[in-house]
Amino acid sequence: MEAAARTSNTATDPLSLKQALEQAARLLDKQPEAALRRAEAILKQAQGLPAAELLACQALRRMGKTKAALTRVSALARSQSRVPAVIWEWALAASEAGAGKQAIAALESLTRQQPAVADGWFLLARELRKAGLKDEAWRADLSGVHASSRDPQLLEAAMAMNEGRLDEGEAILKGRLQRVPGDPAGHRLLGEINWRRGDMTAALALVERALQLAPGFDLARDFLVRLLLQTNRLPEALEHAETLASSPLKSPGHALLKASVLVRLGDQRRARAIYEKLLKQQPDQPQVWQNLGHVLKTLGEQADAIDAYRQAVARQPAMGEAWWSLANLKTVQLGAEDIAAIERALALLEPDAANRREDIFHLHFSLGKAFEDAGDYAASFRHYDLGNRLRRAMVLHDADGFSAEVAAAAGTFTSAFLSEMGAGGCPAPDPIFIVGLPRSGSTLVEQILASHGQVEGTMELPEMMMLASRLQSRVDEGEFPDFRAMVSSLSPQDRLRLGEEYIERTRVHRHTAKPLFVDKMPNNWQHVGLIRLILPNAKIVDARRHPLSCCLSGWKQHFARGQAFTYDLADIGRYYRDYVGLMAAHDRAAPGAVHRVIYENMVADTETEIRRLLDYLSLPFERACLEFYNNGRAVRTASSEQVRKPIFTDAVGHWKNYEPWLGPLVEALGPVLGAYPEVPETRD
C-alpha cells in the first residue's frame, strides 16, 4: 500500500510526471512496447493526460498497430486541435493506415498552423498524389520547397557552396540528411555540390532522389534536365522537360527549357512552335527572338531567320550573340547602318567591359564579318583579332598537352598493335563518321551523303567523344599508367559493349529506316583508332581543306561551344599539324581504311569525287547526291546556308585577302602547308 501510494504521488507530481514522460519517450524508437506500457501506467494515474495519450499513440504506430493508433489519436486531435505534435501524429497514423482523407485533413490543418515546416507540406503532397489530386500535390511540394528555402541549415550550406567552400557545405548537408533522410531540398543542394565538383554520377543520383521525394520540386527537375543535357541523355531530358512544362506554377522558362531539349534532339519544328507561341504572348523578348532565329536558320528559312535576329537586336541593341548570328548567315551582308549600330553598341558596353566580355567579342566578330563583306580587310582583320584575343582569354587550351595526347594516339594505333588486338567490337555497319577540322567542307560532304536514299543525316553527335573521355578518365584517375595500357586492356567483349553503347545512344537521332547514318562530329579525328576497335565496320571520311583556308575560316568563326583551339592563329595552325600527323599515322597502320575528301577537288570535279566517295561506302551512285542543295533537311552548322546552294568556288582562295597578317599561322603550319594536299615526311 505504501509503495502504491508513493507511485501515485510520484505520477501526479508535475516534476516526476515530466520525468516519467521523458523516460517513456526515450524508449519509443527501439522499445515501443515498453514505451506503451509506461504511457498506459501514467494514464492510470493521470487520466486523459494529453502528453501521455500522444505517447501511447506514437508507440502503437511504431508497433505496427496503425488502426488502434489512428482511433486514439484522431480522438485526441478533436480536443487538441491546436497542438502541432498531435496533428502531426494523426497525419502519420492516418497515412500509414491508408486513411487518405484523414491524413489530408490532418496535414491541411498542420500546414495552416505551421506553414514554415517543410515536412508537413511534403507529406501532404504525397497523400494528395495518392488521392489522384495531381495539381494540389504539386502545389504542396512547391510550398514545401518554399518553406525549405528559409531553413537556416540549408541557407548555411548554400552560402558555403556559393563561396566555394564545397567540403563545408557537403558536411552540413550529409549531417542533415542523416537526421532528416527524406529532405528533398537537402538532396538537391548536395547534388549541386557534387555537380560543381564534376561528379556527375553522384549529382544525378541525388537530384533524382530529390524528385522521388517531391515530384513537384520544379527547381530540382529543371536542374535535372540540365544535367541530363550535359550527359547527352536526351530522351530522359525531354521526358522531364515535358513534365516541368505541365507544372501548375506556369513559367516561360519551363517552355524555353523544353525547346532547348527539342533543339538538341533535332526536332526544330516543335521548338519553333514553342518560341512562336511565347512571342505571340509577349513579343518583347530578345532572347526568344534570337532562339527562334537559330531554329529558322537550321530549317533553311533564311528570310525569317534574318527577321528574327533583327527583332532581337531592335529590342536589345547591344545583344552581341544576335548580331553575330545575323552576321554569320553566309548569305547576309551587313551594311553601313549595321556597322554604325554595332559600333554604338560597343561604345555603350565600354563602361562595363569587364562584365560584358561575351557581348563585346561577339560584336567584334560581327564587325569583322561586316568589314570583310565591305572589302576592308585590314579593318576586318583588326576586329576579328580583337574578338579572338578576348575569347582566347576566356577559354582553356593547352597546345602542348594536346599535342602529347595526339602523339600518344599515333604511337598506340600502329598496324602491329591493331593486329595484336585482333577481332572485336560491334559489327554494325551503320555509322559513317565524317572527321576533320571545322570549316573543312564536312557539312558539304554530309549534305551530299544525306541526299542518298540509304543514308540518314543526323548532326554533330557527341557520343564518341563522351565514350573516349570516359576511357581517358581511367588513366587520369590512376587506374592505368598511360593511354596505351588502357586501350590494351579492352577485351573483345569490352569493345563489343562500347560499340553497342554508341549505336544505342545515337539511336535517338535517327528518324528514318535508312540503314546508314552520318555522325559529323569533326573532332572525332582524334578517336579514329577507338572507332576502328569498337565499330570495325564503320566508315570514316576525312574532309580536308587547304590549311590556310581552313584555319583562317575557323579563326574567323566564333563557335557556340568547344573548339577552344580556334581563337589564336598559332594554336589553330598547330592543331592542324597534329591532325594531319595523326591521320597520316592511321593511313600507315591501315591503308585505305579512311577515305579522304579534298575540298578543292570536290569543288573542281564534284561528280568524280562523289562517285569515289560512294564507291568507298559501297553505295550505288544516285543523282540526288549531285543535287544535294535541294535537300530540305535541317542543318545546324555554320555552313547551313551554303549547302543549300550549288557548289561555288569563291571560298577556295579567300585566305589571300588576309595574307599580310597570316605570319603566325604560316609559321605554325610549317611543312604541312607546302606539302598540301600531300603529307610531308616530317611535320617538324
pLDDT at residue 635 tops 70: no
More confident residue, 300 or 325: 325
User: Would you place residue 12 in the very low, low, confident or very high pLDDT band (cuts 50, 70, 90)?
Assistant: low
511-539 pLDDT, tens per residue?
A: 999 999 999 999 999 999 999 999 999 99
Residue 311 confidence (pLDDT): 97
Instruction: For residues 175-180, give the mean pLDDT.
Output: 92
Q: Return mean pLDDT, the chain.
A: 92
Strands 516-519 and 594-598: unpaired
Residue 56 confidence (pLDDT): 93
Q: Are 384 and 328 in contact (CB under 8 A)?
A: no
User: Would you place residue 359 in the very low, low, confident or very high pLDDT band (cuts 50, 70, 90)?
Assistant: very high
96-114 pLDDT, tens per residue?
A: 999 999 999 999 999 999 9
pLDDT at residue 550 tops 90: yes
Grouping H, G, I as helix, E, B as strand and the rest as coil, residue 645 is coil
The number of C-alpha atoms within 13 Å of 52 and in the hemisphere containing its C-beta is 20
Give the C-alpha separation, 647 to 626, whole Å: 10
Residue 631 confidence (pLDDT): 62
Strands 455-459 and 431-436: unpaired
**What does the domain layout of the chain look like in residue ranges?**
399-630+643-675
Instruction: For residues 624-633, give the mean pLDDT.
Output: 77
And the C-alpha cell for 197? 565538383
Residue 474 confidence (pLDDT): 93
Q: Is the dihedral of CA 186, 192, 198, 203 positive or negative?
A: positive
**Amino acid making up residue 497:** R
Residue 18 confidence (pLDDT): 84
Residue 435 confidence (pLDDT): 97
Element (H, E) at 536: none
Residue 164 φ/ψ region, left for φ over 0, alpha for ψ in the -120 to 50 degree band, beta for the rest: left
Residue 561 confidence (pLDDT): 78
Residue 644 confidence (pLDDT): 43
More confident residue, 496 or 14: 496
User: Would you place residue 544 in the very low, low, confident or very high pLDDT band (cuts 50, 70, 90)?
Assistant: very high
Number of neighbours of residue 423 by Cβ within 10 angstroms: 8
Residue 11 confidence (pLDDT): 46
User: Would you place residue 647 in the very low, low, confident or very high pLDDT band (cuts 50, 70, 90)?
Assistant: low
CA 249 to chain centre: 24
Q: Are 575 and 672 in contact (CB under 8 A)?
A: no
DSSP letters along 402-432, please? HHHHHHHHHHHS-HHHHHHH-S-S-----EE
Question: Of 462-476, 586-600, 650-664, 666-680, which range is least confident?
Answer: 650-664
User: Would you place residue 481 in the very low, low, confident or very high pLDDT band (cuts 50, 70, 90)?
Assistant: very high
Cβ neighbours of residue 557 closer than 8 Å, sequence gap 6 or more: 328, 438, 439, 566, 638
Grouping H, G, I as helix, E, B as strand and the rest as coil, residue 544 is strand
552-611 pLDDT, tens per residue?
A: 999 999 987 789 999 999 999 999 999 999 999 999 999 999 999 999 999 999 999 999
Number of neighbours of residue 382 by Cβ within 10 angstroms: 16
And the C-alpha cell for 593? 581504311
Instruction: For residues 644-666, give the mean pLDDT.
Output: 79
**Amino acid making up residue 115:** P
Q: Are 483 and 408 in contact (CB under 8 A)?
A: yes
Percent of the chain with pLDDT over 70: 94
More confident residue, 87 or 629: 87
pLDDT at residue 166 tops 50: yes
User: Would you place residue 331 in the very low, low, confident or very high pLDDT band (cuts 50, 70, 90)?
Assistant: confident
Instruction: For residues 378-384, give the mean pLDDT.
Output: 97
Q: What is the CATH number of domain 399-630+643-675?
A: 3.40.50.300
Give the C-alpha separation, 593 to 529, whole Å: 11
388-446 pLDDT, tens per residue?
A: 999 999 999 999 999 999 999 999 999 999 999 999 999 999 999 999 999 999 999 99
DSSP letters along 258-287, please? HHHHHHHTT-HHHHHHHHHHHHHH----HH
DSSP letters along 335-360, please? -HHHHHHHHHHHHHHGGGGGG-HHHH
Residue 305 confidence (pLDDT): 95
User: Would you place residue 640 in the very low, low, confident or very high pLDDT band (cuts 50, 70, 90)?
Assistant: very low
Give the C-alpha separation, 464 to 505, whole Å: 10
pLDDT at residue 7 tops 50: no
18-31 pLDDT, tens per residue?
A: 888 889 889 998 99
The number of C-alpha atoms within 13 Å of 579 and in the hemisphere containing its C-beta is 26
Give the C-alpha separation, 23 to 182, whole Å: 27
187-196 pLDDT, tens per residue?
A: 999 999 999 9
3-state secondary structure 11-49: HHCHHHHHHHHHHHHHCCCCCHHHHHHHHHHHHHHCCCC
pLDDT at residue 57 tops 70: yes
Residue 660 confidence (pLDDT): 97
Whether the model pTM is above 0.75: yes
Strands 539-544 and 516-519: unpaired
